[in-house]
Amino acid sequence: MSIAVAGDTTAARRKWDWARVRATLGAWGFLAPAAILVTVFFFIPVIILFVISLTDLSSSNFSEPLHFVWIENYARLFRDRFFPKILLNTVRYVILTLGFFNVGMALVLALLTTHINRRAGFFFRMIWLLPRITPSVVYILMWRRIAHQPPFGILNQLLAPFGVEPRYWLFEQPWLFVILVNGFVGASFGMIIFTSAIESIPRDYIMAAKVDGASTWQVIRDIILPLIRWPLLFVTTYQSLSLLTSFEYILLLTEGGPGLYTTEVWALTAYKRALKTYFGHNQWGYGAAWGFILVLIGLILSIIYLRVFRFNELVEEPKIDVL
Amino acid sequence: MKVELVNLTKRWGNVVGADHITLEIEHGEFVAFLGPSGCGKTTTLLMIAGIYKPTEGLIKFDGKVVNHLAPKDRNIGMVFQSYALYPHMNVLQNIGYPLKLKGVPKQEIRKRVQQVANMMGIGHLLDRKPAQLSGGQQQRVALGRALVKQPDLLLFDEPLSNLDARLRLSMRSEIKRLQLELGITSIYVTHDQVEAMTMADRIAVMKDGKLQAYCPPDELYDRPRTLFIAGFVGNPPMNFINVEVVQEDGEYHARAEGFDLVVPSERGEKAAGRGRVIMGVRPEDVCLADDGIPGEIYVVEPLGRDDLLNVRIGEASIHVLADPTLNLRIGDTVRLRFNTHKVQFFDPQTENSLLWTD
Ligand SMILES: Nc1ncnc2c1ncn2[C@@H]1O[C@H](COP(=O)(O)OP(=O)(O)OP(=O)(O)O)[C@@H](O)[C@H]1O
Ligand SMILES: [Mg+2]
């Protein structure tokens, strides 16, 4: 049935409407559970967040009626002396952790553990899961012991035989440890996804490529990586968005320091402004402005990812005809 | 290229994939590996391709041991049962992949792929993805990819088993013609004996990882060396009857309950005086005749051109082909005449032929 055009009889139009209504109802029926979840737990909170970000709501005036300051919070945010630093830190944190660990190391681990003996591969993957199942406070405590100042510090003791001067590693290389700490946890997620994706590639493809003359590296480059493109897209998207909004390990490890804003990232700033200030003065409105911009960045990033990875190309229509 | 396998063995723990296989394939020869599912055909093929490392034994190409050569250094073309076309590459890229790996320039790759594709009749499909091709077209792409690098050895692992019967027939003759034209040494794995019989110069019959026989098709058919080969090759399969062969008045008689057959002395003398032996006779060597041995029809299976009768004589059950216009029914009595010049005898213990083992 084609789209109704001017001149159609009313009877035909009514029939057309019926089919359309039923199809639409069916579609909404299937969409409803997910739509309700997304609305209640994402759209509504985001709208509330946005409304709060337009007010000067804080712990000193929360019993009074909302007082709208409109874009003042945003203006203040962009005028902040440390705004460029925090932005840069966030970009650095996400890109380095993602590149070296959450996708890079995850891929290396998945490839390695699927190319060795099965049992050994399983064992290695288990080891990489340990950081994720360790409570974050315990995990960070461990890292702080490792990178502690002299005369303590496990790293200092390990490196001493090689003639390395003992030093306060965490203080001197805060970024190195921020990325290591997050990366060791983050790598296991991608590792598991990539491992199962690689193992589900039919063995025939890999055998065929070898017979065709491919070395192990060429098999990985030409066959395995293209065939796990979708999991790669998924992990990159998911992990960069979750890194963007994560701050607990940084909070526990460096609190954004040492010094002024050395390792402070966007989500940590939002947290501090809204919920944790030195004098107990929580600026909910101002913190919400930081938070809302983070949501916007996340949305824009998702759209870019879908474009760059050409998501719609993954779904192709077959054109089978008989020989 | 000449291929030699010497005591080639593959084991995974207790599982035996291939068990001491020794055979030679001459340059330009077309050899079929024939055997039931799980007998080690694919395992042997993958060892030759270099995908599996042999547990024991040698693989020689033109006299040189290649056990430790990586697959990419063996210059082999292989067609898989699943075709294994790379789903993310189009036909051009699929067929051109072996050339790309060899570092052939782009222009040259295009030219050679086009050439091979035209030969296979898929020249107009170069920009399609495998998912957009029919089974037969995919089959041709797989064949093209194996041929494009001008391999010294072609390996086929049941390449036709996913095609419909009509297409299988035409691809069968096409592959055979290509192989003859190009003269490339080929190994063709199949569990379809008709494919093996019609295409191969020599057939290697395998069972439980062991080589049972290695000979030309007609020899396999007329002079089966084991009970397994006799039963496996031929359709409908050979009939087996438990008999005792005795010599009386200078004639050899194969006897069982309700059954007495005079057999030629050059066959009979090898089976005589051994007690119970197994006599084999192919359904096409049995016919209905008025002067034959009487038996009762147990089952009638119409095959179209013929009816396949299962006739009981005493303990024995014998398959015979009969003219459908005779309108035979279950329970009817028929008389069977045996072409005694074609009967086989086997030792029931060793299951070896009493006629053809030296
Ligand atoms: N990777 C493996 N690990 C353990 N056992 C294996 C492996 N590959 C094959 N086998 C075993 O080796 C034997 C031979 O297998 P193979 O695949 O060679 O059979 P095939 O003759 O090709 O059978 P089909 O006609 O079904 O393809 C089988 O018993 C199989 O279970
Ligand atoms: Mg097989």
The answer on pLDDT for A12 being more than 60 is: no
Residue type, A259: G
Whether residues B156 and B250 share a domain: the answer is no
Place of tokens 């209905």: B288
**Average pLDDT estimate for B75-97:** 92
Residue of A nearest to B82 (CA): A204
Which ligand 1 atom sits nearest the alpha carbon of residue B45? 18
- CATH code of B257's domain: 2.40.50.140
Q: CA-to-CA distance for B44 and B180, rounded, in angstroms?
A: 24
pLDDT band at residue A3 under the 50/70/90 scheme: very low
> Is the residue at B353 inside a domain?
no
> Is the residue at A12 inside a domain?
no
> Is the residue at A10 inside a domain?
no
pLDDT band at residue A11 under the 50/70/90 scheme: low
Average pLDDT, rounded, for chain A = 82
> Is the residue at A138 inside a domain?
yes
The answer on pLDDT for B47 being more than 90 is: yes
pLDDT band at residue A26 under the 50/70/90 scheme: confident
- For ligand 1, atom 6: residue with the closest CA: B17
Which ligand 1 atom sits nearest the alpha carbon of residue B13? 4
The answer on pLDDT for B130 being more than 70 is: yes
Picking from B204, B231, B258, the residue at the C-terminal end of a domain is B231
Per-residue pLDDT, B345: 92
- Dump pLDDT digits (tens) for B270-328: 888 888 999 999 998 998 888 888 889 999 998 888 889 999 988 888 999 988 888 88
> Is the residue at A298 inside a domain?
yes
The answer on pLDDT for B23 being more than 90 is: yes
Q: How far apart are the CA of B357 and the centre of ligand 2, in A?
A: 30
Whether residues B122 and B202 share a domain: the answer is yes
Give the length of chain A.
323
- When comparing pLDDT for A56 and B61, which is higher? B61
Q: How far apart are the CA of B81 and the centre of ligand 2, in A?
A: 8
> Is the residue at A170 inside a domain?
yes
- For ligand 1, atom 14: residue with the closest CA: B40
Q: What is the DSSP letter of B274?
A: S
The answer on pLDDT for B108 being more than 90 is: yes
Q: The domain containing residue A297 runs over which residues?
A: 37-314
Phi then psi for residue A25, to 5 deg, are: -60, -45
Handedness of CA B99, B105, B110, B114 (dihedral sign): negative
> Is the residue at A229 inside a domain?
yes
- For ligand 1, atom 1: residue with the closest CA: B12
CB-CB under 8 Å, A322 with B84: no
Could you tell me which residues of chain A have a Cβ less than 8 Å from any Cβ in chain B?
202, 204-205, 207-215, 218, 222-223, 226-227, 229, 316, 318-323
Q: CA-to-CA distance for B264 and B342, rounded, in angstroms?
A: 9
Whether residues B118 and B248 share a domain: the answer is no
> Is the residue at B151 inside a domain?
yes
> Is the residue at A258 inside a domain?
yes
Give the one of B50, B88, B134 whose C-beta lies nearest to A226's C-beta.
B88
Q: How far apart are the CA of B206 and the centre of ligand 1, in A?
A: 12
Per-residue pLDDT, A274: 73
Whether residues B161 and B259 share a domain: the answer is no
B46 to chain A: which residues are within 8 Å by CB?
207
Which ligand 1 atom sits nearest the alpha carbon of residue B209? 14
The answer on pLDDT for A10 being more than 80 is: no
CB-CB under 8 Å, A209 with B132: no
Q: What is the DSSP letter of B16?
A: E
- Closest of B340, B346, B345 to residue B260, by C-alpha: B340
- When comparing pLDDT for A318 and A196, which is higher? A196
Q: What is the DSSP letter of A320?
A: -
Structure tokens at A231: 């999991």
**Average pLDDT estimate for B79-88:** 92
Per-residue pLDDT, A313: 63
Whether residues B103 and B157 share a domain: the answer is yes
Per-residue pLDDT, B270: 84
- CATH code of A47's domain: 1.10.3720.10
- Closest of B71, B43, B242 to residue B153, by C-alpha: B71
* A114 three-state secondary structure: helix
**Average pLDDT estimate for A106-110:** 91
Domain count, chain A: 1
Picking from B231, B258, B287, the residue at the C-terminal end of a domain is B231
pLDDT band at residue A323 under the 50/70/90 scheme: very low
ipTM computed for the complex: 0.81
> Is the residue at B352 inside a domain?
no
Residue of A nearest to B136 (CA): A323
Phi then psi for residue B109, to 5 deg, are: -60, -50
- Dump pLDDT digits (tens) for B157-181: 998 888 888 888 888 888 999 899 8
Q: How far apart are the CA of B35 and the centre of ligand 1, in A?
A: 12
Could you tell me which residues of chain B have a Cβ less than 8 Å from any Cβ in chain A?
46, 49-51, 70-72, 76-78, 80, 82, 84, 86-88, 97-98, 101-102, 128-129, 131-134, 136-137, 145, 149, 155, 167
CB-CB under 8 Å, A208 with B80: yes
Q: The domain containing residue B175 runs over which residues?
A: 3-231
> Is the residue at B288 inside a domain?
yes
- Dump pLDDT digits (tens) for B187-229: 999 988 888 999 999 999 999 999 988 999 998 888 998 899 8
Per-residue pLDDT, A322: 41
Whether residues B293 and B201 share a domain: the answer is no
Residue of B nearest to A321 (CA): B134
A322 to chain B: which residues are within 8 Å by CB?
134, 136
* A49 three-state secondary structure: helix
Which ligand 1 atom sits nearest the alpha carbon of residue B12? 4
Place of tokens 């010294």: B152
The answer on pLDDT for A8 being more than 70 is: no
Whether residues B13 and B155 share a domain: the answer is yes
Domain count, chain B: 2
**Average pLDDT estimate for B219-243:** 89
* B304 three-state secondary structure: coil
Q: Are strands B307-313 and B286-302 parallel, antiparallel or unpaired?
A: antiparallel
To test the contact with chain A by mutation, choose from B12, B46, B48, B51 the residue with the greatest count of A C-beta atoms within 10 A, namely B51
Per-residue pLDDT, A77: 78
Whether residues B168 and B107 share a domain: the answer is yes
CB-CB under 8 Å, A211 with B49: yes
- For ligand 1, atom 19: residue with the closest CA: B38
Per-residue pLDDT, A318: 46
> Is the residue at B358 inside a domain?
no
Whether residues B7 and B65 share a domain: the answer is yes
Around B268, how many Cα atoms within 13 Å sit in the side-chain half-sphere? 19
Whether residues B215 and B249 share a domain: the answer is no
- CATH code of B136's domain: 3.40.50.300
Give the one of A211, A223, A229 whose C-beta lies nearest to B86's C-beta.
A223
Residue of A nearest to B149 (CA): A212
Whether residues B260 and B336 share a domain: the answer is yes
CB-CB under 8 Å, A316 with B131: yes
Whether residues B195 and B248 share a domain: the answer is no
**Average pLDDT estimate for B250-270:** 85
The per-residue DSSP string of A146-165 comes to: HTPPTT--HHHHHHGGGTPP
Per-residue pLDDT, A176: 86
The answer on pLDDT for A6 being more than 70 is: no
> Is the residue at B354 inside a domain?
no
Per-residue pLDDT, A14: 60
Per-residue pLDDT, B136: 87
Residues with CB under 6 A from ligand 1: B 12, 15, 17, 35, 37-43, 191
Q: CA-to-CA distance for B111 and B123, rounded, in angstroms?
A: 11
The per-residue DSSP string of B102-148 comes to: TT--HHHHHHHHHHHHHHHT-GGGTT--GGGS-HHHHHHHHHHHHHT
**Average pLDDT estimate for B69-89:** 92
The answer on pLDDT for A316 being more than 70 is: no
